[in-house]
Amino acid sequence: MTEQSQPQKTAKTESLEEFQVEAGEQLTTNQGVVVEDTDNSLKTGNRGPSLREDFHFQEKLSHFDRERIPERVVHARGSAAHGYFQAYESLAKFTKAHFLQDPSIQTPVFARFSTVGGSRGSADSVRDVRGFSVKFYTQEGNYDLVGNNIPVFFIQDAIKFPDVVHSIKPEPHNEIPQASTAHSNFWDFISLVPESTHMILWLLSDRTLPRSFSRMQGFGVHTYRLVNAEGKFRFVKFHWKPLLGVHSLVFDEAQKLAGKDPDFHRRDLWESIEQGNYPEFELGVQIIEAEDEHKFDFDILDSTKLIPEELVPVLPIGKMVLNRNPDNFFAETEQVAFAPSNVVPGIDFSDDPLLQGRLFSYHDTQQHRLGSPNFANLPINQPVCPFHNNQQDGRMQMQVKTSRVNYFPNSLGQDQPAPSETEGYVHHSERVQGHKIRERSPSFGEHFSQATLFWNSLSAVEKEHVVEAAHFEIGKVEDQGVRERMVERLNHVDHELAKLVAMGVGVAAPKEVATQNHGQSSPALSQESLAVKTVKGRKVAILAADGVDAEQVTTIKQALMDAGAQAQIVSKFLGMIKSADGQEFKVDKTFLTSASLMFDAVYVPGGALSVETLKANGDALEFINEAFRHYKAIAATGEGVELLKKTSAESLQHDQGVITAKTSSHQSKFAKSFIEAIAQHRFWMRTLG
């Protein structure tokens, strides 16, 4: 990372000793006055009234009373990390954006992932769209790529954004439900807005239950413009592809995790970075020549549509690595202010009416939420390049400007700061004309073909999950008319889909086909095509008790660590367990404080006493049964195989992800087979078979 590309807040790698030195510093007020007692307020006698002159008490309490700021209306619950972006090669042909032209530059970034509907205190694993926003601290200013993990959106025009969000949020009369679209208001709105149909298929899919942020795609959603030095523009769509592949939770896991570990995604991101398993994403673009704007059978300015990769391939242009956790959640993750209007020369907007509304709304909401137009002065929002303007005063102005002038033009300040005639941001110039009307373009009028494309592209398992999700979501709707409208809406996507959903929500199946399925598909839309068979970053539970076979535990832990996975010992109590030969192993989690939900695979090592203890523990048996129900890899060696015979994994079928070795002589071959099974992620044939 070059010196010029460093953010003003440089990387902070404190040692424990440095932290202890800081922790030993004297407590002071905000004015720097040393405090001699912060446990007792100033009183008249030890039982007398408190005194108004206690300035330390006043400051401490009044600051506490004002510590909360308005949470984001949407994307309130988020997690974030620092990192860098580096282009693969120069994109000067397409854009004059400097950070995309020099592959030797590592541009600092701050990426925030979030849920959309829930409050700050809601759970991570709920079924929801995920925000995927990245702030690039470039040498030409800050650029924000503000997107989601789904390439399309609910609506076409930003004027309806308040309506869709109001419908998603808890119902106003009783503030129920939290962080869920499974309620009447949402589906009432959706059933009356045909343009939402495509997005709804994505919402019901596994995409809204990501396994982790590091295994989740990101999309810019809108069509933007790239402009090169000659002024030529091309349309562009942005894609983030996780290098670990795209994987999801199953719905039962997601629901249970919301209670067992509501911080599941946040914890995973934090721990992965702390352990050096840095999340990596490849940035790709779909480039559309200006003259090809109207060559598709859909409008590229319609945010409810995507551009199939078979029509316009995604060109990889660079990689983002997230390698540092925030130093302070509030100061960085909570106060970071993203806005699509934050662009740099070479990146411009299209006329997408949803994007045009976001250009106003995001900046406006940041001023309200952070309480001042000076929110850009907060360290997490400051650009790394010099910035000068005549904007002064306002709440929390953090710059001390020394010039006597704050206007332009001026002679008293040598006409500074002055606009640049050579380097300034220039919006792409084009002629526009038309009548003032409130209408949609006819090219925005078709709403079902891409929903059908998405449905056709899913695997059999993914389709089954969509239907089950619809049964849950629409099944929560109290109004029969809304459920009927939704089934009819789905009948325009696919007749069989509508019949399957109707069966689970108490609605008569449609007898006629509303819209004929066109039969087209796009392999890139299925998660199966985006899987990467790697165990890097995976977590494996080792179930053990006193008397465990030490060699088997040590061998598999080392093999997993060498492959980039993490193994944790789970037992009845915390502390140490002693192996059959007297070695001691630290217990990382207990059956009470963890669950198979938090792991990607389960291993039971041998050791007669250990296995007999686990056989008598119902929690241990349920741990394995639950992992089996969630299609995860399960393994055992030695006497551990006998424990599996008491669970759902008793069939011991290798092709269903149950890997066993009865003797330690097969340990090396076993480890290889187990690691390959973990990389498979899920073994859906347990259901389909």
How confident is residue 322, by pLDDT bands cut at 50, 70 and 90? very high
Output the CA torsion 558→563→565→567 (10° steps).
-20
Q: Tell me which residue of 239, 249, 181, 218 sits closest to 475, measured CA to CA.
A: 181
Which CATH architecture fits 78-377? Beta Barrel (2.40)
In tens, the pLDDT along 247-302 reads: 999 999 999 999 999 999 999 999 999 999 999 999 999 999 999 999 999 999 99
User: Annotated catalytic, 325?
Assistant: no
Give span(s): CATH 2.40.180.10, the chain.
Answer: 78-377
CATH 1.20.1370.20 residue spans of the chain: 448-529
- Phi first, then psi: what are they for 94, rounded to 5°? -105, -30
CB-based burial of residue 3 (10 Å sphere; 0-12 exposed, 13-18 middle, 19+ buried)?
exposed
Q: How many CB atoms lie within 10 A of CB 273?
A: 20
Contacts of residues 8-13 at CB distance under 8 Å and 24 or more positions apart, as own/partner, are 8/379, 8/382, 8/384, 9/379, 9/380, 11/82, 11/324, 12/327
Domain 533-688 in CATH 1.10.357.10? The answer is no
List, for residues 195-215, the tens digit of each pLDDT value. 999 999 999 999 999 999 999
- Per-residue pLDDT, averaged over 69-89, amounts to 97
Whether the pLDDT of residue 605 is over 60: the answer is: yes
d(CA 81, CA 84): 10
Residue 586: pLDDT band (50, 70, 90) is: very high
Catalytic residue among 142, 148, 277, 381: 148
Which distant-in-sequence residues (6+ apart) come within 8 Å of 453 by Cβ? 308, 518, 520, 521, 522, 525
251 close to 208: Cβ distance less than 8 angstroms: no
Q: What pLDDT shows up at residue 13? A: 40
Neighbours of 409 (CB within 10 A): 9
pLDDT in tens, 18-28: 444 455 689 99
Q: Whose CA is closest to 390, among 371, 413, 369?
A: 413
Tokens 């108004």 locate to 52
Catalytic residue among 75, 183, 447, 492: 75
Q: Is the pLDDT of residue 2 over 50?
A: no
**Residue ranges of the chain that CATH labels 3.40.50.880:** 533-688
In CATH, the architecture of 448-529 is Up-down Bundle (1.20)
Alpha carbon distance 363, 368 (integer Å): 9
pTM of the predicted protein model: 0.93
Instruction: Specify whether the backbone of 175 is left (phi greater than 0), alpha (psi in -120 to 50) or beta.
Output: left
pLDDT for 21:
43
**How far is 528 from 462, CA to CA, in rounded Å?**
9
576 strand-pairing partners: 586
User: pLDDT digit string (tens) for 368-409?
Assistant: 999 999 999 999 999 998 888 888 888 888 888 888 898 889
| CA atoms within a 13 Å half-sphere pointing along the CA-CB vector of 23 | 7
Residue range 624-630: mean pLDDT, rounded = 96
Give the span between the Cα atoms of 361 and 220, in whole angstroms: 17
pLDDT tens-place string over residues 145-176: 999 999 999 999 999 999 999 999 999 999 99
Active-site residue flag, 148 = yes
